[in-house]
Structures are given as structure tokens and as C-alpha cells.
Amino acid sequence: MQNTARDVDVETTYRERLSPSLWVLASAAVAGPMAALVLAPVDRTLALIGGAGVGVALIAILVLSSPVIEITGGRLRAGRARIEVEWLGAPRVLFGDEARDARGVALDPRSWHVIRGGIDPIAVIPILDPDDPAPSWVLSSRTPDRLAAAVRRAQAATRSTPRR
């Protein structure tokens, strides 16, 4: 039986949910009072319950549907995509104007993007697999240095583990 990078280390070494900014959540919460106003002519109690339900539901949907970046068992997951860390190159961390350029004018449309508005720093991770059509992954992260370090740790752990 052949060991894979997934068998090597099944613990999560990095996990980040790219949840919406507070402004987006506050904007979603405003939908609650608007729903209450619509229901007020019908019944005040129904309006209060419905408005609170709409506000809570919208915030829950926004948070729970946020993309997750995770490194587990030698595999990087960003949103719906997954890749073994052995196929990743050295991550680059970008802040400020460099990050803005990487998300804008320098953005390669062939890359896999998990970009969240309101999160300025990004990590650009090149893909070494010649069969992969994406040349890199461009990922928003609140802690891109930790993400890059976790990728490097997972790569080192994968390289140091003997395969049978």
C-alpha cells in the first residue's frame, strides 16, 4: 500500500474562514427592520418575529457560505478547490499596492482566485503541476504570513515522509 501526502498528517495546520466584513454584516442586518416594516400592517408581533428572523438568517447565510482556506493532511483547500502541497511552489505574500495590483491589473485570469472584498493582503502560490491549467492560486487572507508558513511546513512534512 502506498502512503500519500494525505496519510502523512491528517491534522489541520491552518484554517481561515474569509467571513464578510462588519460593514457587509451590518448592511445585511438592516434587512431585518425592512422586513418588519413590510409585515407591520399585517401584525406587529409577526413583524417583529419576521424581521428578527430575516436579519439573523441573512447574517448566518453570509457567514456560513464564506469560503474557507485550509491546510490539512498535505492538502490545500481554498473554496471548492483542493491541491496537494507537493504541487505548490513558494508562496508570495503581498500587501498594499502590490496586493491591489495582483488583484487588479496583474491578475492572471487563468489562476484560481479566492478573493474577498475587504481583505487587503493576499498570498500568491504558484502551481508546479504541468498538467494544471492554473498557473497559480491567488488567495485573500487576513494572515497571509501564517498561510505561507503553513504551506511551507506542509511541503516539508510531505518531503520528509518516506513513501512505500
Question: At residue 1, does pLDDT exceed 50?
Answer: no
Render pLDDT for 19-41 as a digit per residue (tens, 0 to 9). 998 898 999 999 999 999 999 99
pTM for this model (two decimals): 0.78
Q: What per-residue confidence (pLDDT) applies to 73? A: 86
Three-state SS letters, the chain: CCCCHHHHCCCEEEEEECCCCHHHHHHHHCHHHHHHHHHCCCCHHHHHHHHHHHHHHHHHHHHHCCCEEEEECCEEEECCEEEEHHHECCCEEECHHHHHHHHCCCCCCCCEEECCCCCCCEEEEEECCCCCCCCEEEEECCCHHHHHHHHHHHHHHHHHCCCC
Question: At residue 129, does pLDDT exceed 70?
Answer: yes
107 vs 41: CA distance, rounded Å: 50
Q: What per-residue confidence (pLDDT) applies to 5? A: 44
Question: At residue 163, does pLDDT exceed 70?
Answer: no
Render pLDDT for 72-92 as a digit per residue (tens, 0 to 9). 988 999 999 999 999 999 999
89 vs 99: CA distance, rounded Å: 18
Question: 19: closest CA among 50, 59, 55?
Answer: 59
Mean pLDDT of the region 118-124: 92
Mean pLDDT, all residues of the chain = 89
